[in-house]
A and B are shown apart, each in its own frame.
Chain A
Amino acid sequence: MTELTDFLPYIVVVWLAIIGLYGMATSGNLFHLIMCLCVFQSSIWILLLSIGYRREATAPIFDDVSPEVSVIDPVMQALSLTDIVVGATIVAILLTIAIQVHKRLGTLDPNQLNSIQK
């Protein structure tokens, strides 16, 4: 049982990564595509948190516990926060561009965008 619960997060990571990438490759709508990017990104958060997780450990705040107590890895927590910020920035940029695409071309379907010379 323990092995399964240790392994389970990684299955979720792979699943989210695959459906996120599949969605981005096949999407017919730019907003949907951005949401798929978010799904792909959430797979990374789960990966980071499950790598940093320690069994029987507490939060890495040494205010009221002694420094000998085993804690969850704070590096991965900090990194997932950083990644959330990066993700928010990217989504903001992409949404801005998507709105602009809709304004200019009246469509959000990437199949109908053909302004780039081959």
Chain B
Amino acid sequence: MMALEILPGLIIAIPFLAAAFNRIPGLSDYRTFVDWISIIAAALVATLAGVLCFYALESPVIHWVGGWEPREGTVIGITLVADATSTGFIFITAVLTTAALAFIYKRYETIGSFMHILTLIFLGAFSGFVLAGDLLTMFVFLELMGICSYILTAFKIRDEAPIQAGFNVAVVATVGSFIFLMGSAMMYGLVDTPNIAQAADRLSNLPASPALGISISLLITGLAVKTALFPFHFAHADSHSVAPAPHAGLFGAVLMQAGLYGIARLSGLLLDVPAINIEMFPTLLITAGVLTAIIGAVMSIAQNHLKRLLAFSGIAHIGIAAVGVGVLNTNGLAGASLYVVGHAAVKMSLFLIAGVILHQFSTIFAGKLSGLSRKSWILTAMLVVGALALAGVPPSGLYGGKVLIEEGLKDIGLGWIIYILYFSAALTGAAVIRFTVRVGSSTTPDDEDPVYVHEGSKETIQKGGFFYMSAIPCILLIAGVFITLSPRVTGGIERAAERDFNRSAYVDLVIFDKKEQFVKTATQDFWKIDYLAKGIASGLFAVGSGVIFASRRFDTSRIRRGPLAMLRNLHSGHVGDYMTWLIFGTVVTTGWFFWQL
């Protein structure tokens, strides 16, 4: 048992040590060495997190840093809480990071070791954020994770779009973390502890006060900025569309989801207290989630640039997962978890496919690329499968997640919202289908290229390695498509959601070291004809509308008037506009909490 308790610490330490190792002068010149150290470190984290997840499903593991355990019910140390949800999430991220590093191995030649180091620090910071049991540790790792993402966004520093997007996302997301810090400082002032479990315990005796409302709303707003919920999604869309393909994949698959994980954790633990009217929170988060899903999906189908298309598609899907979290019951949270897992695999693989296309044909802009189906049937097939998976065709993880979210929505009497979610998901699938059809035809379109991202200058990119590079997204895609078929995975996620977001179980676990046994009796039946019909219908809708919108009459880059053009103009790339949206969102959230207090 002792050995298990050091694993959470090791999971955080290994990537940082490997990153430091890669900077040893002289050694870092040997590129193969750097690659192998990074890949082995990430794979090791994946293994350890997998082992820990396996055990944590039975009983969660608590690690007190430096052995400072609670004394008489008072927390005095820093804790890492490794339960099934957090370790499972780290497992997914470590697997995707391994895939990204394996992809970098063949894709880039003369980048030195910086990209590897940033990727490893990202993994370490991610693990720290997810495991952290107190608000201040969460802030530190949240911002460290953010810093890696800003630098990776602006990695191609000689091009115009990456530096602009890097600046925007650095300003907006930093303000987001500072808002989170303000919230946690006020929470500390109220309950005299940064520890989340202890805070949850003490909040139950606290009267309602304006300070409490502001504190909670700032915590949630700060995390929502990181989650890229509307109206905070603008800078994230820019960032994901210009970052190097493997990192854009990581951002779209797990970075935003880390913020959502934080919201799920804190709303389960801190909101369920007498001083706060819990009823209001689902309305707020579900509204934000639905708006994010719709805007992301519409913007996604209006793009001709594959990475930008996928960036908006990621934002649409985080909105859908946010609805699952906003439901605040076991089904919704389990649905959000399964949705995030399935989406992570599919989105990462689509971004890597974008990387492969870029590698082979030097462009991922639909107006420039042509005859893809003739040049490479395997990439075309993978794009189509990815599009269907995004649309939620069974048995992909996104289908299973939506089934659970639907059950959760029905429990609180909002079952109709699921149709909006199916529609948004189908639109993101249609966007990928539209791209595939447009680049599949052999005629060369003559559109002007409005994209100013010059993807990696020629000399930094290796030649060859096509099959190696396509194999990585292929494996991920297969995992994402068939995940719902495994009852072990879905059952485990449902059990984890029931225990890990339960307030009293968490408090007992962390402060009093009592492990409650949960036996989830009813597991969801994913194969009812009702669900299957919805999933297949959205797949058909995606294919149909994708093919229709692929025709030149619907060339969205030529639309200059109307609602779509207005929506596009909102995504202006201007940092001041984005900040105005951020202020607007913060005021709305804080005002909402005040109104409902």
Contact = CB atoms under 8 A, between A and B. Distances in A.
Interface of A: 17, 21, 24-27, 30, 33, 37, 40-41, 44, 47-48, 51, 75-76, 79, 82-83, 86, 89-90, 93-94, 97-98, 100-101, 104-105, 110-111, 113-118
A33 B151 contact: no
B114 interface: no
Interface stretch (B97-105, B160-168, B321-329): B160-168
Nearest to A43: B182
6 contacts: A21-B583, A26-B576, A47-B185, A98-B167, A115-B160, A117-B308
A21 B578 CA distance: 11
A89 to B, nearest CB: 6
B166 A97 contact: yes
A116 B185 contact: no
Contacts of B580: 25
Contacts of A79: 136, 181, 185
A110 B576 contact: yes
Nearest to A98: B167
A93 B170 contact: yes
Contacts of A117: 161, 241, 303, 305, 308, 450-452
A94 B171 contact: yes
A44 B185 contact: yes
B178 A40 contact: yes
Contacts of A83: 181
Contact of A51 (B136, B140, B186, B242): B186
B163 A104 contact: yes
A81 to B, nearest CB: 12
B569 A37 contact: no
A33 B575 contact: yes
A48 B303 CA distance: 44
B189 interface: yes
A107 to B, nearest CB: 11
Given A101-B167, A104-B159, A117-B161, 19 more contacts: A21-B579, A25-B576, A25-B579, A25-B583, A27-B576, A30-B167, A33-B171, A37-B171, A37-B175, A44-B185, A86-B140, A86-B143, A89-B147, A100-B163, A104-B160, A113-B160, A115-B160, A117-B450, A118-B571
6 closest A-B pairs by CB: A116-B573, A115-B160, A25-B579, A51-B189, A115-B452, A118-B568
Nearest to A83: B181
A22 to B, nearest CB: 8
A13 to B, nearest CB: 8
B573 A90 contact: no
A51 B572 CA distance: 39
A51 B189 CA distance: 6
A90 B149 CA distance: 12
Contact of A24 (B163, B181, B579): B579
Contacts of A89: 147
B188 A75 contact: yes
B142 to A, nearest CB: 10
Contacts of B174: 37, 90
Contact of B170 (A26, A82, A94): A94
Contacts of B520: none
A36 B177 CA distance: 16
A16 B188 CA distance: 21
B574 interface: yes
Nearest to B140: A82
B80 interface: no
B158 interface: yes
A104 B158 contact: yes
A37 B583 CA distance: 14
A82 B338 CA distance: 35
A72 B549 CA distance: 64
Contacts of B177: 86
A48 B569 contact: no
B175 to A, nearest CB: 7
